[in-house]
Amino acid sequence: MRKRIILTTAIAAVALMALSGCAGGRADTASTDAAAGFPADSTIGVALPSKTSENWVLAGGLFEDGLKEAGFTGDVQYAGASTTVKDQQDQISAMVTNGAKVIIIGAADGGQLATQVQAAQDAGAVVIAYDRLILNTEAVDYYVAYDNFKVGELQGQALLDGLATKKANGPYNIELFSGSSDDANSAVFFDGAMSVLQPKIDDGTLVVASGQTDIKQTATAGWKAENAQNRMDALLTSTYGTIALDGVLSPNDTLARAIITSVKGAGKDIPIVTGQDSEAESVKSIMAGEQYSTINKDTRVLVAQAIAMAEALQKGETVEVNDTTSYDNGAKIVPAYLLPPVIVTQENAAEAYANDPVLAPLTE
């Protein structure tokens, strides 16, 4: 067991939580009591955020098909791009009114759903937070996600490994990017990465030349590519007139490509850039030697796990979880089922995507 610090920065609340958790190879299987079950053709609501990355696009179709196959009536909704939070609040309220028995939520803003999920629970629905935690409410029954802290650790390590392939020794000039502050995952990814990078910053191996190391400075509002590109443009102008940029910590693939676009636009060499999500364009970029790494969080497996939870609830069986310590949402520790993320570079891409019909051909 090791101490894990999760910094959760949300618009609604800034909470500092010191949590005790254990890393990969979790042995702490636990379970919670199931409800009494419900009819097999019941409605299962799925509220997804706007399509800020490919994983969300994929998830919608997989939920539609998977819920149908399991015999449920699926009600899958996306929040719109501009009125995201209000859209999602309204969609969840409608699912409650329509009698959904389970509501699976990929939060648009994890800090702004407390009222809606409380109403869901009051109406007897079970609430499952999908991929992103819902904060500051006891009305979240389960969380299903890839291990977010591990994602960050893998990104931090990939950045170090990539830098070592560029030149044997530091100091290396790097910049740090993080995700949207309304997504509870963003701080966990960042903290995971910094658990690896901070000691190397402290010993001088890594130099964040801009001095911007605080998550408030590194955040990318809305996970939007244009915001990352603009910040990278500004950093190149302010800091990299004469010195080289060796590496960039990017929290996902969409932002990684935006960062690379910015660097190319400035006529500079492409640094080592990390990513996440295994988006097709980034896998191509990795194979072409531009982006350095991504993370494989197979959306098919995550959706299947969420649907398995709904099936267990339908049958009145115990819902399987494997982590009951890591995800304190500010009101309770949410029992979670965490899946293991996999780091992918040019070296292991073919192996990592061997069973993915879309990505495997890109690695040939």
The token pair that represents 171 in the structure block: 């100091």
State yes or no: residue 276 binds ligand BGC (CB under 6 A). yes
Mark out the alpha helices in the chain (DSSP H runs).
54-69, 84-97, 114-122, 148-166, 184-202, 215-218, 225-239, 253-265, 280-287, 299-315, 349-352
Site for ligand BGC in 313-342 (CB under 6 A): none
Stretch that binds ligand BGC, among 9-17, 177-185, 229-237, 303-311 (CB under 6 A): 177-185
Asked if residue 185 binds ligand BGC (CB under 6 A), the reply is yes
132 binds ligand BGC (CB under 6 A): yes
Please tell me whether residue 223 binds ligand BGC under the rule CB under 6 A: yes
- The phi and psi torsions of 5 (rounded to 5 degrees) equal -105, 125
Q: Which is nearer to ligand BGC, 56 or 177 (CB)?
A: 56
Q: Are strands 14-21 and 2-9 parallel, antiparallel or unpaired?
A: antiparallel
Closer Cβ to ligand BGC, 132 or 200, answer by number: 132
Contact range with ligand BGC by CB under 6 A, out of 1-9, 47-55, 112-120, 203-211: 47-55
- Which residue number, 276 or 314, has a Cβ lying nearer to ligand BGC? 276
User: If binding is defined by CB under 6 A, does position 246 make contact with ligand BGC?
Assistant: no
Helices and strands, number each (H, E), in the chain: 11, 16
Asked if 150 interacts with ligand BGC (CB under 6 A), we say no
Q: Which helix (H) or strand (E) holds 222?
A: none
Q: Is the peptide bond before 171 cis (omega within 30 degrees of 0)?
A: yes
> Any bridge partners for residue 130, and if so which?
144
* Candidate segments 15-23, 179-187, 236-244, 262-270, binder of ligand BGC by CB under 6 A: 179-187
Contact flag: residue 131 with ligand BGC (CB under 6 A): yes
> Is the CB of 246 or the CB of 279 nearer to ligand BGC?
279
Site string for ligand BGC, 51-90 (x = CB under 6 A): -xx-xx----------------------------------
**Could you tell me the smallest distance in angstroms from the CB atom of residue 252 to ligand BGC?**
4
**Which residue, among 64, 124, 111, has the nearest Cα to 84 in the 3D structure?**
111
User: Chain centroid to CA 26: how far?
Assistant: 19
- Phi/psi of residue 85, each to 5°? -65, -50
- Cβ proximity to ligand BGC, 43 vs 220, nearer residue: 220
CA distance 321 to 144: 8
By the rule CB under 6 A, 153 interacts with ligand BGC: no
Q: Which of 9, 88, 252, 285 binds ligand BGC (CB under 6 A)?
A: 252
DSSP state letters, 162-220: HHHHH-SS--EEEEE----TTSHHHHHHHHHHHHHHHHHHHTTSEEETT---SHHHH--
DSSP annotation of 295: E
Applying CB under 6 A, does 181 fall inside the site for ligand BGC? Answer: no
Count of C-beta atoms within a 10 Å radius of residue 356: 16
Q: How far is the CB of 199 from ligand BGC (least distance, A)?
A: 25
The answer to whether 149 contacts ligand BGC (rule: CB under 6 A) is no
Three-state DSSP at 269 gives coil
Applying CB under 6 A, among 183, 246, 311, 323 the residue interacting with ligand BGC is 183
Query: Between 209 and 336, whose beta carbon lies closer to ligand BGC?
Result: 336
279 part of the interface to ligand BGC, by CB under 6 A: no
Interacting residues toward ligand BGC by CB under 6 A: 52-53, 55-56, 131-132, 179, 183, 185, 223, 252, 276-277
